[in-house]
Amino acid sequence: MTPQAVAAQARRDATRKAILATAVRLFAEQGVLAVSNRQIGSAAGRGNTSVVGYYFDSKADLVRELVRGFNARVEQNREQRFLRMGRSPDVRDWIGCLVHPYAELLNADGPNTWFARFMAQVVADPGLRRIAVEEAGSDSVARISAGLRECLPGLTEHAVRDRSRISTHVIVQMCAERERALAEGTPVTPPTWEEAATSLVDVLVGMWTAEVTPAEDGDDS
């Protein structure tokens, strides 16, 4: 590439990065549906407020790029955590692989972060939740799910699906609540993301290891 082409590519990359950083902040603070592409372009400091449309065909594409980018970083953290696990991981080990890599990135990106609140917006919207579900289907999540099934052979497939769904909801919402409090300057307990993640692991281990209540006769639910 010529020096001019390299410089042009660098400008495009910088613009794309600015759009993503601005979008996740505005989405977290105002809501995904409330923020327009024009607002993002203006807040990103670009002279052309229509610039978002040059990089992303739709708001859904922009949301997907944000989710995919963060999930890729979570995947890297999980792979490192897998390497540190012993030969016979238990339920707590697998749940730790689910929770800690997510919280570690929020801590690393701090003190001001927006992704947890953004994700809470995404999963609460029926039209956007599909994106989160599709992008969550990673190798690491499949490995964690398989590990939990192996540790808890008495759980029915229905129970596994329910507890997986609840786990995702708890992680996203509790991290979003903590992130919001930090942004507002409200004291949080526990004081660190590491301790908060450990508390979440405690809660989720209790849920996953709880007995399944047998359905009553005639109960088709």
Residue 1 lies in a domain: yes
Q: What is the pLDDT of residue 217?
A: 65
User: Residues 197, 198, 202, CA angle at the centre, nearest 5°?
Assistant: 115
pLDDT one-digit tens code per residue, 109-129:
988 899 999 999 999 998 899
In the chain, the amino acid numbered 175 is C
Q: Which of 56, 81, 103 is the last residue of a domain?
A: 56
* Structure tokens belonging to residue 142: 């499949």
* DSSP-assigned states of every residue in 61-122: HHHHHHHHHHHHHHHHHHHHHHHHS-SS--HHHHHHHHHHHHHHHHHHT-SS--HHHHHHHH
Mean pLDDT of the 10-25 span: 92
Is the residue at 215 inside a domain?
A: no
Boundaries of domain holding 42? 1-56
130 assigned to some structural domain: yes
Final residue of a domain: which of 35, 56, 77?
Answer: 56
- Of the pLDDT bands very low, low, confident and very high (cuts 50, 70, 90), residue 44 is confident
Short-list 16, 38, 15, 11, CA closest to 26? 38
Judge if 51 and 66 occupy the same domain: no
The verdict on residue 220 lying in a domain is no
Residue 219 lies in a domain: no
Residue 3 shares a structural domain with residue 100: no
Confidence of residue 219 (pLDDT cuts 50, 70, 90): low
Average pLDDT (75-91) is 93
In a domain, 25, yes or no: yes
Quick one: 172 and 156 in the same domain?
yes
Does 69 lie in the same domain as 37?
A: no
If asked whether residues 76 and 175 sit together in one domain, one would say yes
Residue 43 within any structural domain of the chain: yes
Q: Which of 14-28, 62-76, 104-118, 205-219 has the lowest mean pLDDT?
A: 205-219
Residues 108 and 42 in one domain: no
CA distance 93 to 115: 25
Residue 118 located in a structural domain:
yes
**What's the domain count of the chain?**
2
> Do 107 and 11 have their domain in common?
no
pTM exceeding the 0.75 threshold for the entire prediction: yes
> Is residue 39 located within the same domain as residue 69?
no
Task: Let me know whether 15 and 90 are in one domain.
Answer: no
Last residue in a domain, options 11, 26, 56: 56
51 and 86 within one domain: no
100 and 169 co-located in one domain? yes
Q: Which of 13, 51, 44, 45 is nearest to 5 (CA)?
A: 13
108 and 203 part of one domain: yes
CATH number reported for the structural domain that contains residue 35 in this entry = 1.10.10
